[in-house]
Chain A
Amino acid sequence: MKNSKLHKRQDMSKVKKNFEKLPIDVLFVEDEEMMRDSIAEIMRRRVNNVLVAGNGHIGLEMYKKHHPHVIITDIRMPIMTGLEMLEKIREFDENIKVIVVSAHNDVQYFQQAINLGVDGFLLKPINVNNVIKQISKITRQLVYKQKALEFEDKIQKFNELIFQNKTRASAMQISMAPSWLLPEKKLLFSSNYIVDESTPSGDFFDIIPISETRYIAYMGHFPHQDIKGTLFMLTIKITMDTIIKNELEMASPGVILDRLVKILGSDNLTDSMELLVCLIDSDFEFVRYAKIGSVNILQYDLETKTFCDLSKSQNQLNSESSDELEKPMSTFEELEFSFDEQKLNFLYSCELQNYQLNEKKLGLDEIKQMISDIEDPNFFLIPYIFREKLIKDGYQSLTSDFSFVLFRTNNLIKSVDNRFLVTFKSVLTNTAHIRRQCEKFVLEKTGLDDLAFEVELVIAEILTNVIVHGLKNKPDTMVVLSLEITDNVIISIWDKGIEWIIPAIKKEDAFDLVANDATSGRGLPIIVTLSDGITRKRIDSINQTRIIFTIDSDKESLC
């Protein structure tokens, strides 16, 4: 019994569903009362809401009040015809669906009706089935349109979400990027890591100290320049950091890659990306590495001016260092090479080879040639100078990726012969000790008291009054200062601040500027007054400021 009742109920719902009313409101304008009421009555069985009006004028008022989806209207009616009503409605509503009911002798109105954008015609006498058919068709169109709008809205929202995530992805990537220069106790890392804020790039690089003298450095490239790529890179970074943190001093490149593949799956990793993991020992000066894909390692000997492509030569583990570090079991081959003060070590992603000049790819030979051509003794800047050179030579790349990492023995924080080099974090912190050291150095080398003071004051001014403005939002930026004494004293400063321009101040006018009673803005006039020249240039995203003093012991001091 219960079952049969249930069946009956289900059947009822089916029947009800079949006669589900069309979810629209119809306004039916017809002056013949009998016909209007009977047709409206039948329509009400199939349509959600049917409103009626006896002429165009009432129809217009009803339209204004109720905003129906469809209007079905007779043409000839007293007071206001159906077409007159439609003309008025069309002035402010181009989309309302309209069906015109006409008699055979209304043909002369057809052209006007078409011009007013009518959606359908019905001939009198009205066949209710035809009315329902037309209304159903219009309903379908309206429903599709509504769905399309909703879908468009969804797509729009989805796009916004993607855009938000893209910004977030870029922000995450920026937080992953190391400083352009990382001076560690015995090593100096210099990298060109460009992250376009609007397009997350596919490259990543980081260095993690695992003991006082050892580092794990890794560099990779993921082929997707999108959110997926960035999120995956972030996942790799977090996973690597966790593995390294667990292993610490025992961390080895092969084992790290083994674990990474185990955790993230080999399909994700090995099929699509490049990843180089290096264990760098700054004490014993060797690097042990393992890799996925084709990240390259290049070594340049400053003495012999020759290159060695380490990724091609299959170095066996060197016996000296093998005693120090037992090679762990790993499915990834671990190779090793040594370095010293004379060696510059380059890690670069194969993405670099996407740079093209007249369809000729930037190959290893070109890279070697370009590095040899760089005569600048400031080797820590090579990644930047290299990129500048690529652009200058007309190389083009489809991607924004550019990973080129240089590491070498850190000999920057010391004076060599006539050169004093110092790296420091931001000019926003007290840099008094730097100007004092520079003064001492100039005095020692030249014996000229006035010159030493002038250099000290100029360094104070350039750091705390000029460069500081470009670094306002970058309190952790590395700054490199070099003081060279040859026939001249040359101060060179590299910073990653915003680009700035030296205002044109003539030396002879600078005194007036210095003496004027304004409370600020003396820094640059002091530099111009005391020095014999100030120049600046932008190397990629690095500012290089150079100030020259000619050494002339007969020169009359300005002070």
Chain B
Amino acid sequence: MLDIIFNLNEDIGIVKISGELDASNSKDLRKAFDDYFLRTNRFILDFSDLQFMDSTGLGTIIRIFKVTEQKNGYLCIANPRHKAARVLKMTQAHKVINIFETFEEALSKLQGKSE
């Protein structure tokens, strides 16, 4: 079960990932970004409804993050909760990728960047 909703707020792509991101559906997320990259290269991944994530899911997020960096864009994670938050904490993902406790924090960071 994976739901991906994309909204464009000015030039910021807000990607809400809900459900479970694991080995069986990580590819769907990677494919979805092929399309999003055509529209922007600045993203907030809204994790508020992401229940579970495994290492394949995390690997996919990091792969997308690296592509964003190559395009001189920006990508961060906002509001991680549930088991996904635990996986991020355990794998020390914050060393690689910016993680914000709330969506607002992430948004103001990005808007600040664009100014």
Instruction: List residues of chain A with CB under 8 Å of any chain B CB.
Output: 430-432, 453, 456-457, 460-461, 464-465, 468, 511, 514-515, 517, 519-520, 522-523, 526, 529-530, 558-559
Q: Taking CB as reference atom, which chain A residue is nearest B19?
A: A432
> Beyond A456-B52, A464-B56, A523-B55: 4 further Cβ-contacts under 8 Å?
A432-B20, A457-B54, A514-B90, A519-B62
Cross-chain pairs A/B with CB under 8 angstroms, 28 sampled: A430-B24, A432-B1, A432-B20, A432-B22, A453-B86, A456-B52, A457-B83, A457-B87, A460-B52, A460-B54, A461-B54, A464-B24, A464-B54, A464-B56, A468-B23, A514-B90, A515-B93, A515-B96, A517-B62, A519-B59, A519-B63, A519-B66, A520-B56, A522-B55, A522-B59, A526-B90, A526-B91, A530-B90
CB pair B23 A520 closer than 8 Å: no
**Binary CB contact string for chain B from 77 to 96 against chain A (1 if under 8 A, 0 otherwise):** 00000010011011111011
How far is the CB of A556 from the nearest CB of chain B, in Å? 13
Chain A residues closer than 8 Å to B24, beta-carbon distance: 430-432, 464
Chain B residues closer than 8 Å to A517, beta-carbon distance: 62, 95-96
Known: A460-B54, A461-B54. A514 touches B91 (CB 8 A): yes
Chain A residues closer than 8 Å to B76, beta-carbon distance: none
Chain A residues closer than 8 Å to B90, beta-carbon distance: 514, 526, 529-530, 558-559
CB pair B62 A465 closer than 8 Å: no
B12 sits at the interface (CB 8 A): no
CB pair B58 A522 closer than 8 Å: yes
Task: Tell me the bound Cα distance from A526 to B83 in angstroms.
Answer: 14
CB pair B63 A464 closer than 8 Å: no
Chain A residues closer than 8 Å to B96, beta-carbon distance: 515, 517
Task: Tell me the bound Cα distance from A355 to B91 in angstroms.
Answer: 52
CB pair A511 B22 closer than 8 Å: no
Chain B residues closer than 8 Å to A456, beta-carbon distance: 52, 83
Instruction: List residues of chain B with CB under 8 Å of any chain A CB.
Output: 1, 20, 22-24, 52, 54-56, 58-59, 62-63, 66, 83, 86-87, 89-93, 95-96
Known: A453-B86, A520-B59. A464 touches B92 (CB 8 A): no
Q: Taking CB as reference atom, which chain B residue is nearest A514?
A: B91
Task: Tell me the bound Cα distance from A453 to B87 in angstroms.
Answer: 10
Task: Tell me the bound Cα distance from A456 to B55 in angstroms.
Answer: 12
Task: Tell me the bound Cα distance from A468 to B24 in angstroms.
Answer: 12
CB pair B91 A465 closer than 8 Å: no
Task: Tell me the bound Cα distance from A517 to B58 in angstroms.
Answer: 11
Task: Tell me the bound Cα distance from A112 to B66 in angstroms.
Answer: 84
Task: Tell me the bound Cα distance from A461 to B66 in angstroms.
Answer: 23
CB pair A522 B66 closer than 8 Å: no
How far is the CB of A543 from the nearest CB of chain B, in Å? 19
How far is the CB of A548 from the nearest CB of chain B, in Å? 19
How far is the CB of A299 from the nearest CB of chain B, in Å? 42
Per a CB cutoff under 8 Å, which of B23, B66, B89 touches A465? B23
Task: Tell me the bound Cα distance from A465 to B54 in angstroms.
Answer: 9
Chain B residues closer than 8 Å to A431, beta-carbon distance: 24
Task: Tell me the bound Cα distance from A519 to B30 in angstroms.
Answer: 13
CB pair A511 B92 closer than 8 Å: yes
Chain B residues closer than 8 Å to A432, beta-carbon distance: 1, 20, 22, 24
How far is the CB of A406 from the nearest CB of chain B, in Å? 33
Chain B residues closer than 8 Å to A515, beta-carbon distance: 91-93, 95-96
CB pair A465 B83 closer than 8 Å: no
CB pair B59 A464 closer than 8 Å: no
Chain A residues closer than 8 Å to B86, beta-carbon distance: 453, 559
Task: Tell me the bound Cα distance from A218 to B15 in angstroms.
Answer: 57
How far is the CB of B29 from the nearest CB of chain A, in Å? 13
Task: Tell me the bound Cα distance from A511 to B92 in angstroms.
Answer: 8
Known: A517-B96, A522-B55. A460 touches B91 (CB 8 A): no
**Lowest 5 A-B CB distances belong to which pairs?**
A464-B23, A559-B86, A522-B55, A515-B92, A430-B24
Task: Tell me the bound Cα distance from A559 to B80 in angstroms.
Answer: 13
Q: Taking CB as reference atom, which chain A residue is nearest B91?
A: A514
Known: A517-B95, A517-B96. A461 touches B55 (CB 8 A): yes
How far is the CB of A15 from the nearest CB of chain B, in Å? 86
How far is the CB of A104 from the nearest CB of chain B, in Å? 96
How far is the CB of A334 from the nearest CB of chain B, in Å? 49
CB pair A522 B20 closer than 8 Å: no
How far is the CB of A457 from the nearest CB of chain B, in Å? 7
How far is the CB of A459 from the nearest CB of chain B, in Å? 10
Task: Tell me the bound Cα distance from A252 to B63 in angstroms.
Answer: 60
How far is the CB of B77 from the nearest CB of chain A, in Å? 15
Q: Taking CB as reference atom, which chain B residue is nearest A530?
A: B90
Known: A517-B62, A519-B62, A522-B59. A460 touches B22 (CB 8 A): yes
Known: A517-B96, A519-B66. A460 touches B58 (CB 8 A): no
Per a CB cutoff under 8 Å, which of B1, B23, B62 touches A460? B23
Q: Taking CB as reference atom, which chain A residue is nearest B90?
A: A559
Task: Tell me the bound Cα distance from A529 to B86 in angstroms.
Answer: 13
How far is the CB of B88 from the nearest CB of chain A, in Å? 9
How far is the CB of A425 from the nearest CB of chain B, in Å? 15
Chain B residues closer than 8 Å to A464, beta-carbon distance: 22-24, 54, 56
Q: Taking CB as reference atom, which chain A residue is nearest B89?
A: A559
Chain A residues closer than 8 Å to B91, beta-carbon distance: 514-515, 522, 526
How far is the CB of A473 from the nearest CB of chain B, in Å? 18
Q: Taking CB as reference atom, which chain B residue is nearest A431?
A: B24
Task: Tell me the bound Cα distance from A453 to B89 in angstroms.
Answer: 14
Task: Tell me the bound Cα distance from A372 to B87 in angstroms.
Answer: 45
How far is the CB of B40 from the nearest CB of chain A, in Å? 22
Task: Tell me the bound Cα distance from A419 to B62 in angstroms.
Answer: 37
How far is the CB of A529 from the nearest CB of chain B, in Å? 7
Task: Tell me the bound Cα distance from A558 to B22 in angstroms.
Answer: 21
Chain B residues closer than 8 Å to A468, beta-carbon distance: 23
Task: Tell me the bound Cα distance from A558 to B92 in angstroms.
Answer: 11
Chain B residues closer than 8 Å to A457, beta-carbon distance: 54, 83, 87
Chain B residues closer than 8 Å to A465, beta-carbon distance: 23, 54-56
